[in-house]
Amino acid sequence: MLQLLAQPIADTIAQHLDLPVHQVADLLGPPSRPALDLALPCFVLAKAKGLPPPQLAAQLAEVLNAQPGLTAQAAGPFLNIGIDPALVARTLVPPLVADPRLALRSTSGQGQRVCIDFSSPNIAKHLAFHHIRSTMLGNALSRCYAACGWQVTRINFLGDWGTAFGRLIAGWMREGFSLADLDGAEDPVTFLNELYVRISQAAKADPQVAEEARAWSRRLEDGDSTARELWQLFKEASLRAFRKVYALLGVDFDSWKGEAFYEDKMQPVLSELQQRGLLVEDQGALVVDLSEQGFKKPCLIQRADGGSLYATRDLAACDDRFAEFAFDRSLYVVDLGQSLHFQEWFAVAGRLGRPYVDRLRHVGFGVVLMWNDESQGWAKTATRNGVPMLLVDVLEEAVTRARAVVDEKNPDLDEAEKAAVAEAVGMGAVIFNDLKSGRRNDVKFRFEDALNMQGETGPYLQYAHARLCSIERRFGDTYPGAAVAEADPGLLTLAQEKSVLLALAQLQKALDKVVAEDEPSALAQALLNLAATVSSWLSAGNAERSARVLCDDAAVAASRCQLVGVVRACLAEGLQLLGLRAPERM
């Protein structure tokens, strides 16, 4: 987008100097001082022309000042360029009116494929509050990559394998449950959790029970049909619960291949490691020595009892993903606590000479801390009245609190609309809180802060959007018969309007940064910046009647309203890329 402003200027300069336009365009960038729009360091061009840089800068200032809408000034060897609001508007508004999504699309990933492994919870357990992080960072990344032209495969690598299931089956058998018990349970996942706790306690107290659990684990691994059927049942019950939360959050996946899927696909990896002489025995277990790569410990590949390990499963899964998708990049959105795990198996993939090894990225993130009213402190687990809160509980509470605000501010909405707005705002509060700061930072969550409409929050952005929607609705009432289509961007002459447009033009750069650094906060911050410029534009109208969007001059009002429509659409698009909804009324 910024290119649209810079290109004609680069053309003019290149023509004047008789140099290839890319040579000028590459140098023309945003200035160090925010008051100006573009700057051109003249060293390289001056050299090409055999002139001292300050002289060239002065010469070019004269050329540009002869152009309508431009103000140029030489500052030593630099050329600073200002662009009139009306010229900015005439350049940017028409393409944005034609397609507001232009501001949030990029072609940087055209033709490339990315696999994004995110959320990936362990089954037969509830989604805990901390699962919000991987789930929503991964969701935002999926959408942003897609907006940059990447072909995205979203993968939920379920933790659906392990000895826990042998235990669960043993407990189920001991207590004589049937399918009807699970189906009839108020919450099947809680039912399984409680069963797990009981059987674990029993196994601790009674070696006989412990042996039963181990026997069921073996039968499950050996493919015993009763064990497999029960495992399937437990898995489906968890998946149903997961899907409900994902639906609430608006998250979906293309692949649900979990750890169990790879159980019989690890042999090729093991054999290959063996053949290359990379496997070493270590107290009965098989490991790959990584001391040459600077690791203190080797990477565990197979347990002493023959059981496979997390790293081996990740290697097998990665081979499978590469064979299926030939990815150009593969992301693992997993907390920083697992950094060593990823470093280790990435290093093993390197030792195996995998062609994809440089395409792997561990997208690590910090923990989320929840404010605890009782202890007046930040805690790693969310609790309410001392009871741990699940992700779904936090989401529901956020929606309930948002509902109270909606009831107060929008008593006229009908029931269904109030519910929908409260859901959008409650979710938006929780999601944005997680995305607004750099992902490596720990995140603090407190309902009051996340829902604060005056803070840097999801609801603040959603409110900015709803406010613009309301102005658009009022335009029709204020000027019956007038059409936004008759707008003339040349009438957008306020400095604030220019700021809004420049903030819009920055969105694309932010989007590219999200993808380059796997950092959704870049877009979150750019949207906050846009909302701030909009807010000062609208405040200018409060101070002075002629600066209002719906001012007395119908043509100016129509032009401003057109800009309102463009910003509104871009905000909605930006919010949806981050995984938030944008209600029209709040």
Q: Which residues bind ligand ARG (CB under 6 A)?
A: 117, 120-122, 157, 159, 314, 332, 334
Is residue 440 within 8 A of residue 364, CB to CB? The reply is: yes
| Residue keyed to tokens 């992080």 | 133
Structure tokens of 27? 């140098």
Structure tokens of 234? 């437990």
315 vs 427, which CB is nearer to ligand ARG?
315
Structure tokens of 328? 């150009």
241 vs 505, which CB is nearer to ligand ARG?
241
Alpha-carbon radius of gyration of the chain: 29
95 vs 159, which CB is nearer to ligand ARG?
159
Query: What is the closest distance, in whole angstroms, from the C-beta atom of residue 240 to ligand ARG in the complex?
Result: 18
Query: What is the closest distance, in whole angstroms, from the C-beta atom of residue 160 to ligand ARG in the complex?
Result: 9
Query: What is the closest distance, in whole angstroms, from the C-beta atom of residue 51 to ligand ARG in the complex?
Result: 58
Is residue 36 within 8 A of residue 82, CB to CB? The reply is: yes
Query: What is the closest distance, in whole angstroms, from the C-beta atom of residue 381 to ligand ARG in the complex?
Result: 15
Query: What is the closest distance, in whole angstroms, from the C-beta atom of residue 130 to ligand ARG in the complex?
Result: 10
Structure tokens of 276? 């290359």
Query: What is the closest distance, in whole angstroms, from the C-beta atom of residue 116 to ligand ARG in the complex?
Result: 11
12 vs 135, which CB is nearer to ligand ARG?
135
Query: Nearest residue to ligand ARG, using CB?
Result: 159
Amino acid at 507: L
83 vs 334, which CB is nearer to ligand ARG?
334
Give dist(CA 551, CA 554) in Å, integer. 7
Structure tokens of 489? 């961007």
321 vs 513, which CB is nearer to ligand ARG?
321
Contact partners, residue 41, CB within 8 Å, separation at least 6: 27, 77, 78
Query: What is the closest distance, in whole angstroms, from the C-beta atom of residue 189 to ligand ARG in the complex?
Result: 15
| Residue keyed to tokens 């929008």 | 410
202 vs 260, which CB is nearer to ligand ARG?
260
Amino acid at 272: E
78-83, strands of its sheet edge to edge:
38-41, 78-83, 70-75
Query: What is the closest distance, in whole angstroms, from the C-beta atom of residue 266 to ligand ARG in the complex?
Result: 14
Query: What is the closest distance, in whole angstroms, from the C-beta atom of residue 429 to ligand ARG in the complex?
Result: 25
Helices in 266-333 by DSSP H: which ranges? 267-275, 310-325
117 vs 212, which CB is nearer to ligand ARG?
117
Coil, strand or helix at 37: coil
Q: How far is CA 315 from CA 11, 113, 118, 159, 225, in A?
A: 51, 19, 16, 15, 28
Number of H helices, E strands in the chain: 21, 15
Amino acid at 129: F
121 vs 188, which CB is nearer to ligand ARG?
121
130 vs 436, which CB is nearer to ligand ARG?
130
Give dist(CA 532, CA 252) in Å, integer. 32
Q: How far is CA 414 from CA 4, 232, 400, 420, 583, in A?
A: 44, 43, 17, 10, 14
Is residue 577 within 8 A of residue 485, CB to CB? The reply is: no
Calculate the CA dihedral of residues 180, 184, 185, 191 and round it to 10 degrees. Answer: 10
Cα 273 off chain centre by = 36
Is residue 499 within 8 A of residue 563, CB to CB? The reply is: no
Query: What is the closest distance, in whole angstroms, from the C-beta atom of residue 119 to ligand ARG in the complex?
Result: 9
155 vs 527, which CB is nearer to ligand ARG?
155
Quote the strand ranges of 111-223, DSSP E. 113-117, 151-155
Query: What is the closest distance, in whole angstroms, from the C-beta atom of residue 278 to ligand ARG in the complex?
Result: 21
274 vs 381, which CB is nearer to ligand ARG?
381
Instruction: Provide the angle, in degrees to the nearest 10, between the axes of the packed helices 85-98 and 2-17.
Output: 120
Query: What is the closest distance, in whole angstroms, from the C-beta atom of residue 196 to ligand ARG in the complex?
Result: 16
117 vs 456, which CB is nearer to ligand ARG?
117
Query: What is the closest distance, in whole angstroms, from the C-beta atom of residue 332 to ligand ARG in the complex?
Result: 5
Is residue 531 within 8 A of residue 456, CB to CB? The reply is: no
